[in-house]
Amino acid sequence: MTEPPATVAPLALPPDLVASLVLLRHAQSVWLAEGRFQGQADTPLSALGQRQAELAGVRLADPWAPPRLPVPPGDPVVIVHSPLARTVQTAAAVAAAIVARGRPAPPLVPEPGFREIGQGAWEGLLQRDVEAGWPEEIAGWRRDPVRTFAPGGESLVEVDRRVRAALSGVIDRLARASWTAGTAADASAVAGSPAPATPSFYDPHAGPWTLLVGHDGAFKVALLALLGLPLDRFWTFTQATTGIAVLDIRNGRAVLRAWNRTEHLAPLEIEAGEAARRAEDEAAARSRGGAL
């Protein structure tokens, strides 16, 4: 299935807005662990995914802990998430981690515009089954995703339209939060306390920030819109499960400060390595004892 590519235009950003967007991909789901196409199917987190979400929550509840994430101080003004279960659970884990530190949870706001790309007939199928049943279509999707997409699924042009609308709503809310913060700073200065210095374009630690919890495909499209890149660059960005990206908004444009940060998952790698070593030691002990 094909559709002509959309005209590329950067997402309009307020020229005076100083803020940050943090993009968190959801944790591993049951279908992702099984190697199935998910799309908009509502699949929950796997056991490993629940651990990933908890670790991501701890990371985002204390983003200035080393190695520091380039986000402004304080908590996100809001956590906007796709309404699908895997993103709802991941967003809830971040809110719970913030509450565990004695702070109020930011509002959790579902946004249908950030749902994953609909994969139509492929949803629920293993990769090998899709390759066997639709060899030309899947090859086209990987080679030219603007013109080729899953039977019964969404085109990137359609996804771009809804993602841009959702981003515009998020930016509007950030702008209102920024204005409120500025008003509070002015009032503080009038009362005798100095107002914060005006942040420079290169200062990554200023203004409010919002957390978006979503999906790899939808976030690919969001990044292209924010950075003013054409849709045919879709495969340029890939985000791991619970990978964290940070974009600053300055002077009417977005700057990518961090991409696919996953250091919070290090405990899982350590645990996996320790489990592998224990298995090797047990196998060696059985061998020495003559057990088969």
Instruction: Decide if 242 contacts 262 (C-beta within 8 A).
Output: yes
Backbone torsion region of residue 120, taken as left when φ is above 0, otherwise alpha when ψ lies between -120 and 50, otherwise beta: left
Phi, psi dihedrals of residue 244, rounded to the nearest 5°: -115, 130
Instruction: Decide if 26 contacts 242 (C-beta within 8 A).
Output: yes
Give me the active site residues, please: 26, 116
CA distance to 117, 279, 283, 287, 288, per residue, from 291 (Å): 52, 15, 9, 6, 8
- Look-up: residue for tokens 């374009």? 201
Cα–Cα nearest to 6, from 172, 170, 233, 216:
233
